[in-house]
Structure 1
């Protein structure tokens, strides 16, 4: 059975993109031009374009046209996965820039989330995380100081999870995650090279060892246009 015309057009445009006719960030021809090229009505052409937008292959920019979208980094929201491993799995080069790094007394929230004793100290660090040198997120991570005191700053800031697994011999477990939408503040916009008011995905996460002990409380703000979460049941 032959596919509907709009699906055929969808497939044709997708193949053209994959073949390199239009690169990431390129503006594709207008709907009027494409409707003439394919010999179809504007309505049919628009339906084909919308399917590509829904799939994240194209993106519409108000007042500017339709562009080949950047592929968003995805994080499967199950278990604990390091940012470094997520990037490497998608063929991207992970890196980070440490904004602040210090040992301090925990806030009430940190104390509660990490189930800390009265005299416990925490390591609190702020980092910008990059994929192929493009800023993806700004992260504030808090971990019990006693858990990481034997490791160097580079070992902790480059990939905390890998260090805990490979050098401390710990087994990571699951995580409690909450995602909300918000807009970028002036500071976040400056750190992540976006505009103030741009959409941000905010993740709050408590990470656990396999034993059930919480070892990290992290608050991360992701650039909405560069990162997406997906759920798997």
Structure 2
């Protein structure tokens, strides 16, 4: 399967960052310049850049440009968050809308997070999560195809964890999450019905099975004025 052009550009930029071409905190060239360098359209280049921003590799500064992200101070938090459980706990009805759902070759970041090998493929799906029909979160989930080969689309999009346990006979293990702040892109603003540049909570999560195998890499963006995390220690 041919790797989408924006993923190819994503991988090349990520390699250049890792090789030290651009240092942490350094501004990368403009989208126009990069599009010319990679001989792709501005739209394709912008999609690659946005994917790197979503992954926390790059960060945008309004009116200034795009920079190589610096490492964040992290605090280990107890427990993981479940959008469905949190929403129901607030007395609201959770629902979701699938924006895209397809089999694809993984990006470098997905290969690293899910410990994949060359030739492995993934299921990548994008969903909008709602509480009482109000959009709360845009979510990109990547799963190795070997994990869900015997599950149907309805099983995966409605309740992946339950389907894995009840139908695939797999047991869930641990999850790690990182939470950071960012400003909404035009795409996210449209999907979540907020103003472009509004505050967004970005959450990245890798979930494993009980044998330690990572089976899910999720990148979520929550509308900052509609959602907050509460952790009890």
* SS of residue paired to 2:229: strand
Aligned to 1:212: 212
Counting only pairs closer than 5 Å after superposition, residues 60-75 of structure 1 correspond to structure 2 as: none
Q: Taking structure 1 as reference, are residues 106 and 78 closer, same or farther at Cα in structure 2, changes over 3 Å only? A: same
Aligned to 2:223: 223
Q: Larger C-alpha radius of gyration, 1 or 2?
A: 1
User: Using CA pairs below 8 Å that are at least 6 residues apart, which structure has the higher relative contact order?
Assistant: 1
2:115 maps to 1:115: yes
How much does 1:218 deviate? 0.7
Query: In 2, Cα distance between the equivalents of 1:124 and 1:88?
Result: 26
How much does 1:86 deviate? 2.7
How much does 1:81 deviate? 4.8
How much does 1:232 deviate? 2.8
- Is contact 2:183–2:198 with CA below 8 Å preserved after alignment? yes
Aligned to 1:195: 195
- Is contact 1:165–1:171 with CA below 8 Å preserved after alignment? yes
- Is contact 1:124–1:143 with CA below 8 Å preserved after alignment? yes
Larger CA deviation: 80-89 vs 101-110: 80-89
Q: Taking structure 1 as reference, are residues 162 and 87 closer, same or farther at Cα in structure 2, changes over 3 Å only? A: farther
Aligned to 1:128: 128
Query: In 2, Cα distance between the equivalents of 1:115 and 1:180?
Result: 23
Query: In 1, Cα distance between the equivalents of 2:153 and 2:212?
Result: 26
Aligned to 2:181: 181
Query: In 1, Cα distance between the equivalents of 2:130 and 2:225?
Result: 14
Q: Taking structure 1 as reference, are residues 123 and 227 closer, same or farther at Cα in structure 2, changes over 3 Å only? A: same
Q: Which runs of 5+ in 2 are unaligned?
A: 1-76
How much does 1:172 deviate? 1.4
Q: Taking structure 1 as reference, are residues 199 and 131 closer, same or farther at Cα in structure 2, changes over 3 Å only? A: same
Aligned to 2:156: 156
Aligned to 2:65: none
Query: In 2, Cα distance between the equivalents of 1:121 and 1:110?
Result: 10
Larger CA deviation: 158-167 vs 119-128: 158-167
How much does 1:151 deviate? 1.2
Query: In 1, Cα distance between the equivalents of 2:223 and 2:127?
Result: 14
Cα deviation code 1:27-57 (max 9, x no counterpart): xxxxxxxxxxxxxxxxxxxxxxxxxxxxxxx
- Is contact 1:80–1:207 with CA below 8 Å preserved after alignment? no
Q: Taking structure 1 as reference, are residues 217 and 127 closer, same or farther at Cα in structure 2, changes over 3 Å only? A: same
RMSD over aligned CA atoms reads: 1.5
Cα deviation code 1:97-130 (max 9, x no counterpart): 1111000111111011001122211000000001
Q: Taking structure 1 as reference, are residues 123 and 78 closer, same or farther at Cα in structure 2, changes over 3 Å only? A: farther
Aligned to 1:101: 101
